[in-house]
Amino acid sequence: MPVYSISHVENVRICVVMVGLPARGKSLIAQKIVRYLSWLSIKAKCFNVGSYRRNLAGDRPVDASFFDPKNKDGLEVRQEAVNSAIRDMMSWFMDENGVVGILDATNSTRQRREQILRLCRENGIEPMFLESWCDDQELILQNIADVKTTSPDYTNRNSELATDDFLKRIAFYEQGYETMDKDVDNSLTFIKLVNVNSQIILNRIESYLESRIVYYVMNLHIKPRSIWLSRHGESQYNLTGQIGGDADLSERGMRYAKRLPELVLKSLGEENKHTNLTVWTSTMKRTQQTASFLPYKKKLQWKALDELDAGECDGMTYEEIEQKFPEDFKARDDNKYEYRYRGGESYRDIVIRLEPIIMELERQENILIITHQAVLRCLYAYFMNVPQEESPWMSIPLHTLIKLEPRAYLTLVTSIKADIPAVSTYKEKGTSQLGETETMTSKSRDIIRNSKDLA
């Protein structure tokens, strides 16, 4: 049975028009929205006018004077760049059934916004303006340091000169900047973020999809933090190759639970060893037992973090499933993301139930999540932008602590292995389990597979 997403039900197409001076985090917000919506299977794409401008300008060096409103040549190239980006975006909406297109540019004047508005209306696309307004100098300088000085506009330039030049560029934009204003822009759909999210102004948010985007953006913060992910320690079911269930940890799984506090400390490093983490587990015994030796007071259980529900196959081995339901076994191999166990769940179903977890994770600071193979794959896919068809096939070994550090345009990943053996629960695509006489505890599986390690 097909699973419909909200974009099918509502049949809306939205153009998110970013608004704001340079170095206000617009591209970061735009890319995060695309990642979030794509993870939810809503077709989204970002059109960055800066890249179009760089393509048009060719090898010509671009310094602040290019952005001087009196620079005719500069104005022409910039107008041409925005025209091309809009053209491509409209074709993407029409030819590729795009649902949310994001026009990532300053769009800092009403005249420019009027042009976009007109084109959206002519093409039956809902325009939604998203302004990032910021006067916090520290934040602006941080943004320039993080991103702009490594931008292709400043290759081979020393970072002090690049920062200076960038501040001049901002000053040119300030000359004509018109902020979104409730009185003047009353008829438009817009979100205005003031100094990240210390104040948020909303105007005429109408569709459900718009409200999802608003809610997501409202939850974003830019404080540095880390997220740790771990599967539970090896369970009794892992040893026998059974899926699902609510088994206890094996003796080695218990050893992992006892080792976990030490791994966390190692990952925090000496200077952060007193950092207080919040621990999230599923409602299943194996994750709670794994968390039981962690010294942190705040431990929360989430039903949404429970393992993929295998329905009628719960408690069976892959071999038994292949014997009893050969068609299902093949169908799952053919499309693991969409395949839904009889009376159970698919990976797509997990993503849907994980949405509140992602929303909460965006709001929180340091969190350690102890969960299950399939759920961990889906969480990892969100942070690392892993395509849907690949995510159910990622190998996430037992007895390994993964640390994610979300940064402006990427997420850093490190992993630490506990030196405690565990079976591998990884089943490769297209492999039959029939005729396999080895048990899960046999030597060949009694390793953590290094080849597909995430580190």
Among 1-9, 61-69, 176-184, 234-242, which window interacts with ligand FDP (CB under 6 A)? Answer: 234-242
Shortest separation between residue 347's beta carbon and ligand FDP, angstroms = 7
Residues 234, 208 contacting (CB under 8 angstroms): no
Query: Which single residue is written with the structure tokens 């979300």?
Result: 406
Reference 14, options 155, 212, 254, 194; nearest CA is 212
Residue number with CB closer to ligand FDP (275 or 424) = 424
Catalytic residue among 131, 185, 232, 399: 232
Sheet holding 278-281, edge to edge: 299-301, 278-281, 367-371, 227-231, 400-406, 411-417
Looking at residues 407 to 446 of the shown chain, list those that interact with ligand FDP (rule: CB under 6 A): 425, 427
Minimum distance of ligand FDP from residue 291's CB (angstroms): 14
d(CA 175, CA 164): 17
The DSSP annotation for 110-136 comes to: HHHHHHHHHHHHHTT-EEEEEEEE---
Nearer to ligand FDP, 235 or 289 (CB): 235
For ligand FDP, the binding residues in 239-258 under the rule CB under 6 A are: 243-244
104 is catalytic: yes
Q: How far is the CB of 243 from ligand FDP (least distance, A)?
A: 4
Return the half-sphere exposure (C-beta side, CA atoms, 13 A cut-off) of residue 297: 3
What are the Cα distances from residue 66, in Å, to 55, 71, 86, 153, 417?
Answer: 15, 6, 21, 11, 51
For ligand FDP, the closer CB: 106 or 425: 425
Rounded to the nearest 10 degrees, the angle between the axes of helix 72-95 and helix 110-122 is 20
Residue nearest to ligand FDP (CB): 372
Catalytic residue among 307, 309, 322, 345: 307
Compute how many other C-beta atoms are within 10 angstroms of the C-beta atom of residue 266: 12
Catalytic residue among 104, 210, 234, 309: 104
Considering only the stretches 36-44, 123-131, 233-241, 382-390, report the one whose residues sit in contact with ligand FDP under the rule CB under 6 A: 233-241
The footprint of ligand FDP on residues 170-229 (CB under 6 A) is: none
- Judge contact between 189 and 126, C-beta under 8 A: yes
- Residue 216 near residue 156, CB atoms below 8 Å: no
CB nearer to ligand FDP: pick between 149 and 250: 250
Q: Does 309 bind ligand FDP (CB under 6 A)?
A: no
Its sign, for the CA torsion 298, 301, 305, 310, is positive
Instruction: Collapse the DSSP code of 433 into the 3-class scheme (helix H, G, I; strand E, B; otherwise coil) and give the result.
Output: coil
Residue 374 C-beta: closest distance to ligand FDP, Å:
4
Residue 285 to residue 248: CA distance in whole angstroms: 6
Cβ nearer to ligand FDP, comparing 41 with 235? 235
Question: Which of 144, 229, 257, 308 lies at the binding interface for ligand FDP (CB under 6 A)?
Answer: 308
The nearest distance, CB 355 to ligand FDP, in angstroms, is 19
* Binding residues for ligand FDP restricted to 369-408, rule: CB under 6 A: 372-374, 392
Q: Which is nearer to ligand FDP, 36 or 237 (CB)?
A: 237
For ligand FDP, give the closer residue by CB, 148 or 348.
348
Residue 281 touching ligand FDP (CB under 6 A): no
| Alpha helix stretches (DSSP H) within 247-317 | 251-268, 285-291
Pairwise CA distance, residues 338 & 158, whole Å: 49
Work out how close the CB of 356 gets to ligand FDP at its nearest, in angstroms, rounded to a whole number: 20
The candidate with the shortest Cα–Cα distance to 234, out of 402, 379, 421, 451, is 421
CA dihedral 389, 395, 401, 402 (to 10 degrees): -30
Helix (H) or strand (E) segment spanning residue 367: strand 367-371
- Applying CB under 6 A, among 307, 354, 415, 445 the residue interacting with ligand FDP is 307
The contact pattern for ligand FDP, residues 330-369, with x = CB under 6 A and - = no contact, is ----------------------------------------
To the query of whether residue 232 is one of the catalytic residues in this protein, the response is yes
Using CB under 6 A, count the residues that bind ligand FDP: 14
Binding site for ligand FDP (CB under 6 A): 235, 237-238, 243-244, 307-308, 310, 372-374, 392, 425, 427
Q: Which residues are catalytic?
A: 104, 232, 307
